[in-house]
Structure formats: C-alpha cells, structure tokens
C-alpha cells in the first residue's frame, strides 16, 4: 500500500526557534494535510493543501504541497510551549473511495 516517510521522527528545540518537518511518498497524492495530536487527544487538522505548488499559512504555520505531488513540508515559526505534540502528515489519493494515508509522525518538544 501507499506509505509516507515523515521526518524527522522527533525534534527538540528551544522556545522561539523555527521548525521544519517534511513528508515524502513514492505515490502521488491529490491532497496533503497536516494534523497535530496533543497528548491524550485525537488529531486536529492544521492545514489542508489541494493544489501542487500551493503554499498555505495558518498563523505561525506554513505548509507547502510539493510540485511533484509526492511531498509536503510544514514550518512552524517562533515556536512556543503549546506547539508540543505529534505532527502527522497525511495524503489523500484520487478515486471514489479514497482514504487518508498518515505518516508516522514527528514528535516535537519545545524547551523553555
């Protein structure tokens, strides 16, 4: 089946630093999404990207849909303690019964 390679697996950064994480796939996706999961909670949608090359921002978060449709990255600027959590990329392929394929997640720790 389709697989997403998400990196890095974990990150430890200082408060105020910028963060970058990415996802790559051997398959093409028509939609890329980024979710965040806080401890004890379900994933929450951060950003959705629908078009190759699209760059979308949501506050301090910026994500891009790669031109090849096989990759996406997420940047977080000026990190704060509440950015701690697991960030998942997810790809959605074409087809009538398409479903999300999730990456393995990036565990982000923000140090004060």
C-beta of 53: minimal distance to another protein in Å? 18
CA 2 centroid distance within chain: 17
Q: 75 or 107, CB closer to another protein?
A: 107
Report residue 77 as tokens.
């600027």
Q: Which of 33, 61, 76, 108 binds another protein (CB under 8 A)?
A: 33
> Does 52 sit near another protein (CB under 8 A)?
no
C-beta of 3: minimal distance to another protein in Å? 10
Bridge pairing between strands 106-111 and 4-7: unpaired
C-beta separation of 88 from 34 below 8 A: yes
Report residue 74 as tokens.
């997420």
Site size toward another protein, by CB under 8 A: 22
Per CB under 8 A, residues contacting another protein are 31, 33, 40-45, 48, 88, 90, 92, 96-105
């Amino acid at each position: 089946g389709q697989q997403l390679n998400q990196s890095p697996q974990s990150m430890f950064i200082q408060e105020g630093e910028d963060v970058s994480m990415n996802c790559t796939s051997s398959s093409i996706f028509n939609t890329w999404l980024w979710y965040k999961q806080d401890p004890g909670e379900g994933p929450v949608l951060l950003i959705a990207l629908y078009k190759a090359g699209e760059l979308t921002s949501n506050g301090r978060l910026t994500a891009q849909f790669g031109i090849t449709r096989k990759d996406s990255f997420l940047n977080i600027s000026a990190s704060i303690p509440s950015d701690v959590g697991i960030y998942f990329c997810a790809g959605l392929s074409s087809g009538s019964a398409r479903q999300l394929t999730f990456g393995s997640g990036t565990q982000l720790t923000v140090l004060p």
